[in-house]
Structure 1
Amino acid sequence: MISPVWICSEVCSAGFREGRVADFLLAVDTSTPGGSVALYDGDQLLAEFFRRLPGTHSDWLLAAIEQLLGTAGIQVGDLGLLAVVRGPGSFTGLRVGMATVKGLAIGSGVPVVGLSSLAVLAAAVPFARMPVCTLLDARKKEVYAGLFDTSRGQPVALGEERVLDPEKLLATLDGDILFVGDGAIAYRTLIVARLGERAHFVPAAHAAPRAGVIGRLARDAATSLGTTSLAALKPVYLRASEAEINWEKRHSAG
């Protein structure tokens, strides 16, 4: 039995009795090994389940969603919005999360919005007085990187998201920078060596994107940009997969 971490059960019960089902939002993140699911009533986080344990996201994701909604006494069709992190991140993890949310949307007709994993990381650091650099370890001595202004509470991108050598990234950063993400942990020694006292770090508890910070971000995205059609809802990898790289090598050689 999967046991979600309940944030506020009294508020949950009160909200459900009022029957404002259109305000409920379910958020899913499987972009890193630390996957999570969260349920919101409007902007208010009601409950979140997070895990970073051995196994794949497909081992727990559907069961966590079912128990979260079941304990709340609602069904997928009662939701007003589904939100899913679309990447960058783990290729396999992104596919699991995307396929699961698409399946829920097809079966229920609930609209969907896709969100950047790097923006979700930045959303965990609101009102920062300096630019927030979000880093996820992309392996192969590279990082997925984004730079954001969160001074007004929500992340505003200061440039395009990239995958690159951390040395090259650090050479482009000016002034004090606040780093967050597992990439910041993996390359902390390098970051400090290059930036010195200009480098600041968010605690390791925020190293992974969390569904528990997605609510406002998802609603703002749905309002300003509109929801995402299922045909357009695709993972964002930023670089080719191993299969694509190998395919290109074979055909280039041929």
Structure 2
Amino acid sequence: MIEILTRTQLTRAKATGALVADILHTLKSRSVPGTNLLEIDRWAKEMIVEAGAQSCYVDYAPSFGRGPFGHYICTAVNDAVLHGRPHDYTLADGDLLTLDLAVLLDGVAADAAISFLVGDAKPPESVALISATERALAAGIAAAGPGARIGDISHAIGTVLSEAGYPVNTEFGGHGIGSTMHQDPHVANRGRPGRGYTLRPGLLLALEPWIMADTDELVTDQDGWTLRSATGCRTAHSEHTIAITDDGAEILTLPRHAQP
């Protein structure tokens, strides 16, 4: 299903996006060496419930997972990149942490992810990974607008990632979003320009470039959810929810203090 939102729904989407971004910003500030992933999940739950919102993850049970996800946020560390299930792990200085959060508020969902280094250690290869996903995300957003094609976005993202020297997996990528978290169209992180669905005002997309340092192959953790790099290399993931407007694309998942 491809959903085109009304003006009223778009207003709600902006509120949901701001909530997601604010929660991620707060969790990033709290994620220091010694923080447990289960603490992060608990904090996410508290902030979601306090806002009168619902987690898109707790009851999430797609075909590729093992039963309901059962947690409020995805926490992926180092070689984990997608669907990181919170568990009893204490963060250490230099860990590369990805937080991925999707929330439903007033009937509209928003989805975003950030990768960052915990503590003071800044390994150059990890900094480069994160930077590549952020630049690819910016390129994808710049390629989005009314009349553009999904392939234009995929091509823009894939070009940045490939030119940075990283393999690109197309099994998981961006997606439509609206009254539910995952909708059509699929937005691969590599593609051909001029192909695919034509973007229309009112369409919401969650764009999410993610990479692994030296492989495009994923393996599933024993928890049945967490996806890791097949080689054990580090990974990074950046995501925003955007709305296609009459003259471009608007990022909905910016923290309120960062919004114009």
**TM-score > 0.5, shorter chain as reference:** no
Structure with the bigger RCO (C-alpha within 8 Å, sep 6+) is 2
For normalisation by structure 1, the TM-score amounts to 0.30
**Higher share of residues assigned helix:** 1
